[in-house]
Structure 1
Amino acid sequence: MKAFMKHIIFRGGLKLFFWLGKILKKKHLKKFSIMLGSLLCLFPWTRKNIAFENLKIAFGEQYSEKELKKILKKFIQEVILTALEVAFIVKKNEKLAPWAKAEGVELLDEALKQNKGVIALSGHIGNIPVMLAWLAEKGYPVAVLFKEGKYLPEGFLYNLISSYKIYPIPMHSDREVPKEIIKALNKNMIVFILADQARPGVYAKFFGKYVQCQKGAFVIALRKNSPIIPVFIVREKEGHTIKFYREEFQLLQPQNKSFLFSDEYLVKLIENYNFILESLIRKHPEQYYWFHRRFKKMLH
């Protein structure tokens, strides 16, 4: 019964957001998200509690509880604004060029020249659909690994991703996904992987804690000798900024090839990625997706 109610709420919420995306003007999106986010903060709900616990783990020594609650409120408003922006773009068939700018995109261009595909390591920060659609609109061959939401309508994300000429790689099984990623890399595509969720792999440092981190993206990149480019999107005063970073993993490759796929070496690569992501989160704490149970399994 509980799952059924969540399904109904999610479907209703989607219809509401896409309706709002159709009727609201761009200048009204932020005002509406502030209003609705402030209202939602007044009620107790499970995901809000999870987000607050995550904020306490990450920033408990830096901010007071009152300050953390302000960040939580801004985060919920940001989630709503992101959803409204996506709905607005889809319903109004908006061109993405005015919505974002890119810093360091030449790193991506250089990597593509190797003709080995690119692993684009990203995370749950900022308006990810805008980043993917912006790059696809610019003519980049974008693929993305994704998982359909449990309570979303069947095929919702697949259809949305495909509509922007982005190659979808559904997360069906740990056996099939690497094959699909390699297939996309063989076509010299940019495969986006959001590598910041707690999944079995190795333990690496993130916000001073040793948390579960997935290593599959790094293993595939090493086996294929494909370049890794960390790339994230954040909201700044003038709009969204897509930030590309030079991953030092080629420079870190050890002389001893037997060490190449060891957990010790992979942890170094993952912590480089974690460091970049953490630095961005510290600058924009309200833009990270704190609803995920990122710290659910930690080494003490």
Structure 2
Amino acid sequence: MAPELAPLADRTFVVTGATSGVGEATARSLGAAGATVVLAGRNVDKGRAIAEELGSGASMHRLDLADLASIRAFTEELGDRRIDVLVNNAGVMALPYTRTVDGFEMQFGTNHLGHFALTGLLLDRLTTRVVTVTSAAHLVGRIDLDDPNFEHRRYRRAGGYAQSKLANLLFSLELERRLAAARSPLRAVAAHPGYAATGVGGHTGTWFDRLFTFGKTILQRTPAQGAESVVFAATEPDLPGGFVGPNLLLYGSPHPARAARRARDRRAARRLWELSEKLTGVTYPLPPGG
């Protein structure tokens, strides 16, 4: 059983992908502790129903991370309200090759570029922490910064997903370095949930199917258990930044984790950052992280 959270009545959290799976479980956990929760996602009707269950401190706003115009509209709708923690949770997994509204490969565009743009547009309203949800799939991820949208190389669904999750971690670690260089009180933390039985996988036509079958039959972890690392990253007061995940990789209690070597490549992280600014048109008023 997850430890009970300290009261969060004076804090505001934005959670993307908050209408299902780990995102919904994260929003419910934060709401149960009294936080003001902004649920963000595409399924507005379901989000409103969840917000009603959480009470007057919760609200639902439409956000499509595969559409830069939707991201800008969402940030404008929030106005200048203070946001203590942004949880970049939403994601798509192992899709057939499709493109976002803006022409990016769907997994790279949604999982990474969408959250990169969202974080940058909200940066001046964030006070405490940016949590970006990655995956153990980053361990096998490889990123091609000359062709991130698979325009000139063969597309593989699982490989595209792993690339996007590696990009999430590269981004979060670089954001932490840049915030530190700017002496900002804001911290960046990446979190991976381990295995959780959600609707995002198990019907992909890839080796992920075997992983999800194993997870369901052996680990039997719920979305709420998967959300433990995300909630820990968002609320643990003494967490300085970095990366957290289950202590047994796919399951267990959350603790500081070690990122794969490719995720700790600072040159690749800087290149990804520069590419992301170019592709999204969103720039951050932060110095390079060194």
Q: Same fold (TM over 0.5)?
A: no
Question: Which structure features the higher share of helix residues?
Answer: 1
TM-score, normalised via structure 2 length: 0.35
- Greater RCO (Cα-Cα under 8 Å, separation 6 or more): 1
TM-score (normalizing by structure 1): 0.34
